[in-house]
Structure 1
Amino acid sequence: MTESRARRRVFCLVAGSLLAAACASGPAHAAAAQDVHLNEVVTTGSVNDSVELYNSGTAAVDVSGWIIKDDQDSSKYKIAAGTSLAPGAFRAFDVHSSFGLGSSDKARLYQANGTTLVDSVSWSEHSDPSWSRCPDGTGPLTAAPLTLGAANSCGSGTAPVAWPGGSSITTADASNVFGEDLSGLFQDGGVLWAAQNSGKLWRLLPNGSGGWKPDTANGWSSGKTLRFPGGSGNPDSEGVTVTGGAAFVASERNGSGSSRTSVLRYDMSGTGSTLTATKEWNLTADLPPVGANLGFEGVTWVPDASLTGAGFADASTGAAYDPGHYGAHSGGVFFVGVEGTGMVHGYVLQDSGAFTRVASFASGMSGVMEVQWEPQAARLWVVCDDTCHGQHRTFRVNSSGAFATTAVYNRPTGMPDYNNEGFALAGASECTGGTKPVYWSDDSDDGGHALRKGTVSC
């Protein structure tokens, strides 16, 4: 017996019954197990059968080998070895491969021995979209926005309001130009860039009628095929933004393969029909796992000056964001939206290929299909498709340095509940009479049209 264990034994023998439970529990770190709570459960939607754990304590807890069950003892999901929860951390686990969570069910958390119950929660109907404990870790399950991997959204939230622009919607492309799978959009002056899931990037020009048509010069007439670095593969391109003369594309996998959540950089100056990425930042291992087709859906770039001017706090350091800390990079932060979790993450993508996650926050929606920075209003738009009935949310940096919701907008009344996966805003120079154009891309190409146009208040 070591000296420390001997001292503990003597102490426990003389301490009396008040400390009996603590003494029986073994080493001090075992007591920290009681700081781990079942915090959020999702039974339906794009991330159905997901369970989140939360560490409310002040010490990290090793949860390797711990077991999650539903109401059946035969249902067992074993947490992978090497898994630890830091103090205050939230971590979601997709248990779908082991069992499904029903409409009237429970989630139970056991230590690795399979018999020591740590926590248990139950519900009587499916989540819509999430069952969340409010407050985190201790409160009852409450219907709330999906926030897997982050603190639960336990307040009343911001009530949706009418679209801040005109209700009229018109088509913005000719019939049957793009087909299905047109996704992310980005307007860069007189050019509209569009990413298509089949690994294609389009360069669109004004068509003279308020809409857009493919550029027919320099190999762009049918869009350009995208490749990973080295010329291989087929990125499932979902989002696009442009800065510094380069296109940055968010991809969630290679073709129809396994998850590969990446941001790819492309030089657009050539005349060939294929673009090969000059850089890839593969962020898959840095984020909670999601289904292969539930990864990155949108990407946007926010200038460093906009962030420092707003007092943005760097989540990786806990201090004010300092661009100089990261050496050579794009001069801004790339924000990506994840379909499967509804989360938005901010990354500094360094020229060296290194990356640092400097922000993570819940959108409050069950999925994110597009993110767009609007510099004139210093706000970030986060958009969902028909999964959320076309809801749009705006975020700004608050007094704590974090992005927080400023408004929740319903889709324009003239817009059917289409599968709109892309959204782009015109610049301030196009403001006329207090409004400017905005555009949506319909992944389903309803009626043979993939682009639609509306307006938003300047």
Structure 2
Amino acid sequence: MTAIRTRRRHRDRALLLLVLFLLVIGSALVGTSATAPAHAAAPSGDIRVNEVVTTGDVADSIELYNKGTAATDISGWILKDDKDGSKYKIASGTTLAAGASRAFDVHGAFGLGSDDKARLYLPDGKTLVDNFSWSKHSAPSWSRCPDGTGAFKAARVTLGAANDCGGGGGTTPAAWPGSSHVTTADASGVFGQDLSGLYQDGSVMWAAQNSGRLWRLTRNGSGDWSPDTGNGWSSGKALRFPGGSGRPDSEAVTVTGSGPAAGVFVAGERNGDASGTSRLSVLKYDVSGTGSTLTATKEWNLTSDLPPVGSNLGFEGITWVPDAYLTSAAFKDASTGTAYDPARYGAHSGGVFFTGVEGTGMIHGYVLQDSGAFTRVVSVNSGMSGVMELQWEPQAARLWAVCDDTCNGQHRTLEIGTSGAFTTTAVYNRPTGMPNYNNEGFTLAGADECVAGSKPVYWSDDGNDDGHALRKGTITC
């Protein structure tokens, strides 16, 4: 009887093992059914954070890249910054093919700061797939080189396309593209300190002084620039806010394509009579009169629309770029995510005003409507610690961003690329013949002054070193 019971137990155990084996085989067959998505087999580790563009607000973007050999469904995956409460959920139906990249504009969900992270999670919001952290804003992009596997480096913005890993994206400084020789361009002791923004308009140069004063300069017999002696301009004109009160800390000046008859525009960072408070404004002045004081006809106070900065770290540069160029270059309006359409903004100057911020190094583009309304259509990281001047050069279709002695007099050019965004195309050191002055202004002559392949450029020295506030150099046309 004992032997029979033993054989029966062995038989029952064998049957049980057979049943378990069949169950396992059946489950595996179900898991490999043809109805399963083809991309399900791709491991999540193949998806990498590949490029990050940070501005602190508008146009903040994170690009993902699939370094694997199979497509991956990333529906419901979650992007975060350094805060767990910040979440951007990737839309349902989003698949990333092998070797493909895709950028996600996250600014509507959270902003990417100057010291921040880009983190990618599975849909559970807890399983970390990849991340990248940085300690300063992108200049203009943080990109993996090579795509998906390399280390991050400063590069040109290429969201949705292969990363530009050659030459540092145009961020390696080059020699000044003109003569190394620099001369003074004013008589000694004319302006004193605090001469800041410049704008050359043919035979006239406009100059903004921090003390709330605007100068109209013309060439004298030696070719230098001197104050216009007519119509009350001999000592410059005092600037006031609308209504006649206050004294703008005037840092930059520009005009539109309609010339000064349509107004001269001045950017300021505060009211000199309340110097401890930021007031990031663009002011419009009618310069046709003969009086010694100019009262703004309109103010666009942009303070509440921008990240806070110190009262002496606000607007330092302003320039105007025509709508015609922006539309022809397929400029992307970051406020809509689509191509820039001037018609949606009603009556305005016929272009976009670009402002530079000293404290953040950011460049912000605004449509300033005649009604007093405004819309920020782009924010661009200059890649410098501060922007002290901006100038649009129409002949070369490029935007110049200039830093002062803080950055050793560095100059950068930005152009609109195939993505519709302004990106850095070159970085130039100051001319070797010019000391590291506190140059807060820069302007370029027009194409009509190009002689033998070169044309003049001018700088304003806030420190009035050696008694001179203006200096002249050249640049290749």
TM-score above 0.5, yes or no: yes
Does residue 237 of structure 2 align to residue 218 of structure 1? no
Superposed CA offset, 1:274-310 (max 9, x none): 0000111011111111111111000000111011111
Q: Does 1:194 align with 2:211?
A: no
**What is aligned with 2:453?**
434
Report deviation, 1:341.
0.7
Counterpart of 1:325?
344
Percent identity for Structure 1 against Structure 2:
68
CA-to-aligned-CA distance 1:212-232 (integer Å, 9 cap, x gap): 000011111111000111101
Q: Among 247, 253, 259, which residue is 1:240 paired with? A: 253
- Residue of structure 2 aligned with 1:251, choices 260, 264, 268: 268
CA RMSD of aligned residues (A): 3.9
Q: 1:444 aligns with which of 458, 463, 477?
A: 463
Kept in 2, the 8 Å contact 1:128–1:144? The answer is: no
Letter in 1 for 2:308: P
**Equivalences, count:** 371
Alpha carbons of structure 1 residues 343 and 93: separation in structure 2 relative to 1, 3 Å: closer
For 1:293 and 1:379, the matched residues in 2 are separated by 28
Q: Please give the residue correspondences for 1:380-395 in structure 2 after superposition, counting only pairs within 5 Å.
A: 380-395=399-414
Amino acid at match of 1:169: V
1:277 matched residue in structure 2: 296
Q: Which amino acid aligns with 1:248?
A: F
Q: Which residue of 1 aligns with 2:124?
A: none
**Equivalent residue for 1:231, pick from 244, 248, 259:** 244
State the Cα deviation string for residues 15-37 of structure 1 (Å, max 9, x = none): xxxxxxxxxxxxxxxxxxxxxxx
Amino acid at match of 1:254: N
In structure 1, C-alpha distance between the alignment counterparts of 2:301 and 2:83, rounded to whole Å? 26
Q: Distance in 2 between the 1:139 and 1:337 partners?
A: 35
Q: Report what 1:23 is aligned to.
A: none
Q: Does 2:222 match 1:209?
A: yes
TM-score (norm 2): 0.69
Q: Residue 375 of structure 2: which of 343, 352, 356 is its match?
A: 356
Aligned with 1:369 (options 379, 388, 391): 388
Rate the CA distance shift 1:360–1:214 in 2: closer, same or farther, 3 A.
Answer: same
Cα offset, 1:157, TM superposition: 3.4
What is the deviation of 1:311? Answer: 1.3
- How far the C-alpha of 1:211 sits from its partner, in A, is 1.4
Contact 1:239 1:251 in 2 (8 A): yes
Choose the corresponding residue for 2:178, options 158, 165, 176.
165
In structure 1, give the amino acid aligned to 2:221.
G
Give me the whole-angstrom Cα distance separating, in 2, the residues matched to 1:226 and 1:383: 25
**What TM-score do the two structures reach when normalised by structure 1?**
0.71
SS in 2 for 1:90: coil
Question: For the structure 1 residues 214 and 346, does the alpha-carbon distance in structure 2 shift closer, same or farther, using more than 3 Å as the test?
Answer: same
- Stretches of structure 1 lacking an aligned partner (at least 5 in a row): 1-38, 42-52, 67-84, 95-105, 108-117, 148-152
1:175 pairs with one of 171, 184, 188: 188
Q: What is the rounded CA distance, in whole Å, between the counterparts of 1:65 and 1:310 in structure 2?
A: 38
Indicate if the aligned counterparts of 2:286 and 2:297 stay in contact, CA closer than 8 A.
yes
Aligned to 2:430: 411
* Contact in 2 for aligned 1:55/1:88 (Cα 8 Å): no
Q: Which residue of 2 aligns with 1:421?
A: 440
- Match for 2:173: what amino acid? P
Structure 2 unaligned regions, length at least 5: 1-51, 55-59, 64-75, 86-105, 118-127, 158-162
Q: Check whether the contact 2:137–2:383 (CA below 8 A) recurs between aligned residues.
A: no
Gap change, CA 1:281 and 1:168, over 3 Å in 2: same
